[in-house]
Amino acid sequence: MLSYLFGTVPGDAFSYYYEMIALIVLLVLGSIALKNIYRNKVKDKDFVFKKLYKKTPNRLLYFAIGLILLLVIRYEEIPYFSMRIWMYLTTIGLLTYLSFQVYKYLKIYPKDRDNYEARKTIKSEDNSKNRYLPNK
């Protein structure tokens, strides 16, 4: 198993080029779609979404660029850089990142959005009482 993962020159037997290209295209399209969703949410003054997902589209592009680089290195069979472990670690990192983003959207985002809305209503009620006090 270790010689399979850490083989310095794995050889020509890599038959997942089309699947990896499809994943790269999916990441780029997902990044573009998420960038448009982000712009629409920011226009609608959703500050919680802006805070939580500001860097997500760029990070998806970084994963796509990394996979393109690993795919080219694997095609050229460059020793030590074309090891199978790099491809596995990158895909595991991508899956971990995507699962954390889904967790943030399903669990953390609704709580923060409700907390922000509650603070906004409390702040508007306090503003009428404290309008003569100095602001920050």
On the CB side of 127, CA atoms within 13 Å amount to 8
Task: Give pLDDT tens digits for 27-72.
Answer: 999 999 999 999 999 999 888 999 999 999 999 999 999 999 999 9
Closest CA to 63 of 116, 118, 101: 101
Q: What is the pTM of this model?
A: 0.81
Residues in contact with 8: Cβ distance below 8 Å, sequence separation at least 6, in sequence order: 79, 80, 83
The C-alpha atoms of residue 56 and residue 103 are separated, in whole angstroms, by 13
Q: Read off the pLDDT of residues 20-29 as tens digits, 9 standing for 90 and up.
A: 999 999 999 9
Q: Which helix (H) or strand (E) holds 9?
A: none
